Amino acid sequence: MSKTEISIETPDGAARAYKFTPEGQGPWPAVIFYMDALAIRPALFEMCERLASHGYFVLLPDMFWRLGPYPPMIAEKVFNDDALKQELFGKYMPSTNPERVVRDTGAFLAYLARDPQVSGSAVGVTGYCMGGGMALRAAGEYPDRVVAAGAFHGGRLATDEPNSPHLLAPKIKAKVLVGGADKDGSFPPEQAERLKAALDAAGVDNEVTIYPGALHGYAPPDMPVYNHEAAERHWRELLALFDAALKA
């Protein structure tokens, strides 16, 4: 397994990112891994290494790169410290937005098209928490590249806002898998229903489900609400999605 820190030129500057490759000789199909709000840290490296071990070139971009270097966030500390929570919601998360995500993703896709370790032009995407919306946005804005999109305990996927991810459904060509969290205020049942209806109406091959008993943040292993059963279900379903779309 190989992990390498890289820099990717975007229209707004140089973005920090990491690439993970399996053992052996490539090239391999590529996946973009969109981080959750706690950003780049060992738990995400662990997840990307696991995904790469199944035969994928995994790109983990730092979506907060515009802020410059920052220390890894520790989930337990952040959620128990009001000052750290304020910094997360008031400084880190506002450093990106839908328009920046689209510009950044275009640069990431261009990078993948140039890297000789990547096979083909088809790409999979997966995202967690805020990254779930980024994954759906990537599928909608780059339909000729993104063939499979996963979103897990994603929030605000089908809101009344004019840039809500579900409004991109008519543009999506990828197969979409959404694994929502149970009793999640950022993705309540009405949003799940709205997202499902939009994808169905657009003819998108999709599955929108809620994982029973799994709370927002169930997948990363360092989260206080980590749920092993739900996390393993997410891995089974995500790998099946990517294997069918990228390895068939």
Give the residue from 215, 135, 136 showing the smallest Cα distance to 171. 136
pTM (2 decimals)?
A: 0.98
Q: For the chain, give the mean pLDDT.
A: 97
Mean pLDDT of all residues in 20-33:
96
**Taking 80 as the threshold, does the pLDDT of residue 1 lie above it?**
no
- Residue 85 has a pLDDT of 87
Mean pLDDT of all residues in 230-240:
98
